[in-house]
Amino acid sequence: MTRLPDLPAATPTEERPAGEAPTAEKTTPTGVGTPAHRARAAETPAETPRTAGGFDRLLSVEEARERLLATINGPLPAEVVSPLEALGRVVAEPVRATTDLPPWDNSAMDGYAIRALDTAGATDTLPVTLRVIGEVRAGVAPAATVQRGTAIRIATGAPVPPGADAVVPVEATTPVDGAGRAGPRGREAVGPLPAGCLVHEVVRVGASIRRAGSDLHAGATILEPGSLVAPPAVALAAGAGVELVAVHGRPRVAVLATGDEVRPAGEPLGPAGIPDANRPGLLAQVVAAGGEAIDLGIAADRLDDVLARIRDGLARGADAVIVSGGVSVGPYDVVRSAFEAVGRIDLWRVAVQPGKPFAFGTAPRDGALPPALLFGLPGNPVSTVVTFELFVRPALRRLAGHRRLLREADRAVLDEGTSKSRGRRAYLRVTVARDAAGRAVRDGAGRLRVRLAGGQGSHVLSTLAATEALAIVPETIDEPAAGQEVELWWLDPIG
């Protein structure tokens, strides 16, 4: 819950904001703190005393994530929706065209449908004259046939009339009236239909004609299973005559905040209240990750209240339940007990900063449904955001059928030094250096330059709004200096 620190008070290694110098220990056993000791510590996973429930070791980020993802047997079942409703979702079954595209030969230009042979010998100064016998526009079937020495005015996208084997663009023609008087050189095919037209160039067979099926044929697979439905895919499916698309379901995710001190926005805080930031933020992260959010509200620090709301989320069909706060070891941290009442806990606590108190488990569901995923996130808002990115978002993407589960990675160099907790991987909230045009600046090695977005404490909510990316400092580096190369995770751009 938000009033509790991310770190249990009994944990030997205390979390501190990145950039803040480590505090001196009250007592130092022989050899601890020496360079040799620090080197040995950097080579081994961070250990903690045995905790309640039998979890005796801080897990690495990869180990925790692999164990979490291993509980998901596959994506959610397919749903059949329109191409537009499939936007942002993952294709579950092959999508095949129901028609040739284009369905028939059509004109690529405004101009005249002709027989190419009739333009033999035409030049700009010695054009050939063709008699105009009609016109055809898009959406209307041709009513006439092109004969020798004739032309039919045609609009872009209109079906090519029988007898025509080419289209001459209007720019290469001049209209003539019934007396043979030439008008201005063609610039647009509008106005009354002329009696004839002068063609000022030789036109080859097939010129300016889009052949039926030249894009794709009926029955061709246009979207493969596992592909993401982006706007171009929506247009392709609709253009190929596809009415319905089978895509994997959106994960339904219930979100619950906990804490006696947490107040909804707009309510008086009183002498000890704080505004609820985690629940709205998590609901937004769920939607941004492609899920359907279920709001379970704010629970008091009581097992019965937390448990009732979790059960409500499961009863409403949640594929996953996220609870913020209450996962540490304080006297009012009841989330682990609630998880154990509805299912089981599979892992607890990860060697990450911020976000060490993290719980994951599963809860059985009725029938053939796979177990619901249970996520217990820290109460501090920055820790909540980071642990969602590291663990919840990849799980939701696997449920939704995505192939790529993690954020796009980049390389960067820190513009300033900072510090972090020993033996834990830090995810620094950073901004990216940009030039006057707003483009990201890279050095000669192609690396970005990044600076801390603000205070790095797990409670510093104001830093998140400015954060463009997460800079990852490995467990083996406790005090990264200016110039340190880091891996970078880009977050969702806004605007």
pLDDT of residue 493: 65
pLDDT of residue 368: 82
Per cent of the chain over pLDDT 70 is 88
343: helix, strand or coil: coil
Whats the size of the chain, residue-wise? Answer: 495
pLDDT of residue 55: 53
Is the pLDDT confidence value at 461 over 80? no
356: helix, strand or coil: coil
**Residue 380 Cα distances to 15, 127, 273, 357, 459, angstroms:** 12, 80, 14, 10, 5
Look at 19-28, 278-287, 305-314, 357-366 and tell me which has the smallest mean pLDDT: 19-28
Tokens 């905790």 belong to 51
What is the per-residue pLDDT across 126-149, written as a single tens digit (0 to 9) for each? 999 999 999 999 999 999 999 999
Whether residue 162 contacts residue 231, with contact meaning beta carbons closer than 8 Å, is answered with no
188: helix, strand or coil: coil
The mean per-residue pLDDT over the stretch 335-342 comes to 94
CA distance 255 to 293: 7
Q: How confident is the prediction for the chain on average, in pLDDT?
A: 87
More confident position, 240 or 366: 240
Tokens 């806990």 belong to 345
CA distance 312 to 422: 40
Beta bridge partners of 486: 412
CA distance 171 to 33: 83
Beta bridge partners of 238: none
pTM as predicted: 0.80
The mean per-residue pLDDT over the stretch 401-414 comes to 95
Is the pLDDT confidence value at 31 over 60? no
- Is the peptide bond prior to 331 cis by the omega test (within 30 degrees of 0)? no
Hey, what are 362's tokens?
């599963």
Hey, what are 143's tokens?
């009513």
CA distance 67 to 350: 12
Of 388, 383, 420, 390, the closest CA to residue 406 belongs to 390
pLDDT of residue 147: 97
Region of 208 on the Ramachandran plot (φ > 0 left; ψ -120 to 50 alpha; else beta):
left
Phi/psi of residue 447, nearest 5 degrees: -90, 145
**Helix locations, 291-417, DSSP H:** 303-315, 335-342, 381-387, 393-399
The mean per-residue pLDDT over the stretch 303-308 comes to 96
Q: Chain-centre distance of CA 224, in angstroms?
A: 19
Contacts of 67 (CB under 8 A, 6+ apart): 59, 346, 347, 360
Q: Which domains does the chain have, with CATH numbers?
A: 41-74+251-399 (3.40.980.10), 78-101+213-248 (3.90.105.10), 106-210 (2.170.190.11), 409-490 (2.40.340.10)
Is the pLDDT confidence value at 6 over 90? no
What is the per-residue pLDDT across 36-91, written as a single tens digit (0 to 9) for each? 333 333 333 333 334 444 456 789 999 999 999 999 999 999 999 999 999 999 99
Of 71, 58, 60, the closest CA to residue 394 belongs to 71
Contacts of 268 (CB under 8 A, 6+ apart): none
**Helix locations, 7-110, DSSP H:** 35-43, 61-69
Q: Are strands 111-114 and 344-348 parallel, antiparallel or unpaired?
A: unpaired
CA distance 372 to 252: 10
Phi/psi of residue 142, nearest 5 degrees: -60, 140
Whether residue 279 contacts residue 298, with contact meaning beta carbons closer than 8 Å, is answered with yes
Q: Is the dihedral of CA 390, 392, 397, 401 positive or negative?
A: positive
CA distance 321 to 318: 7
Q: Give 296's pLDDT tier (boundaries 50, 70, 90).
A: very high
- Please state, as a whole number, how many other Cβ atoms lie within 10 Å of the Cβ of residue 36: 9
Q: Are strands 344-348 and 359-363 parallel, antiparallel or unpaired?
A: antiparallel
Hey, what are 221's tokens?
């697979």
